Amino acid sequence: MRICVAQTRPLKGDIAANIAQHKKLIHLAVEEKGNVLVFPELSITGYEPHLAKELAMSPGDPRLSAFQHMADQHEIIIGLGIPMIKEGGINITMVIFHPHAPRQTYSKKYLHADEEPFFVSGENDSTRIKGTGIELAICYEISVPEHAATAAKNGGTVYLASVAKSAKGVEMAHKTLAEIATKYGMTALMANSVGPSDDFVGAGGSAIWDSKGKLVRQLDSDCEGLLIVDAETLEVEAKEFY
């Protein structure tokens, strides 16, 4: 299985432009024979809590239909981030498009205190991308020990974090994900954004660690692109553009 993590530069609240950007990276992942592609936190809108109510959508939103078509056409699993409408509030959600199958959602359960005025905690049956050994985390969740412990208990082989982090946040996340990989013997991956987001600047640094916690490869703080890893051999490729 070839797993891809995307590093994107979202445009604030510009759903149409961000969808076009996602399509470009999906085509690149297909060219690289990727089987799974995961984008950063709230990738379709950008990480903009103050705009979440205005930008919130459902997983069945017609604007997202193109991703189901691409998943079906290219036999690739695609995970992207949206503020999801829910009774009682808005979730930070990853919508996962499986080829020829219903859409799966994973919503952030553990919120940072700064997010609580804008979002509500998500409820999930599972943290796993169906049909894979990939256990999902969304940003702050990697800082909650119970989250990674549950992923390991579930038998996950890959711990994949979809985040939106500043330079300081990236530094802390790298340390935490290396520790998680070491403690639980899982390969760890992180997909982050670059450029302005809410009240910070996304600092990239999307990365991959082996099951002993060794950093295998990371992207820089400015580029968009992909990291592609073979889950069995840990051979890694990077595709960067500026």
Q: How many CB atoms lie within 10 A of CB 73?
A: 10
Percent of the chain with pLDDT over 90: 98
Number of Cα atoms under 13 Å in the Cβ half of residue 67 = 32
pLDDT tens-place string over residues 53-107: 999 999 999 999 999 999 999 999 999 999 999 988 999 999 999 999 999 999 9
CA distance 39 to 90: 19
CA distance 217 to 173: 15
Which residues form the domain of 181? 2-241
Q: Output the pTM of the full model.
A: 0.97
Domain containing 113 — which CATH number? 3.60.110.10
Pairing of strands 104-107, 77-86: unpaired
> Taking the chain, what is the end-to-end CA distance rounded to the nearest angstrom?
28
Give residue for tokens 């403690």.
183
Q: Where are the alpha helices (DSSP H) in the chain?
A: 15-31, 52-55, 65-74, 145-153, 167-184
pLDDT at res. 196 = 96
CA distance 36 to 51: 29
pLDDT tens-place string over residues 153-210: 999 999 999 999 999 999 999 999 999 999 999 999 999 999 999 999 999 999 999 9
Report how many domains make up the chain.
Answer: 1
In sign, the C-alpha dihedral spanning 141, 53, 10, 100 is positive
Give residue for tokens 């890893």.
229
Q: How many CB atoms lie within 10 A of CB 77?
A: 24
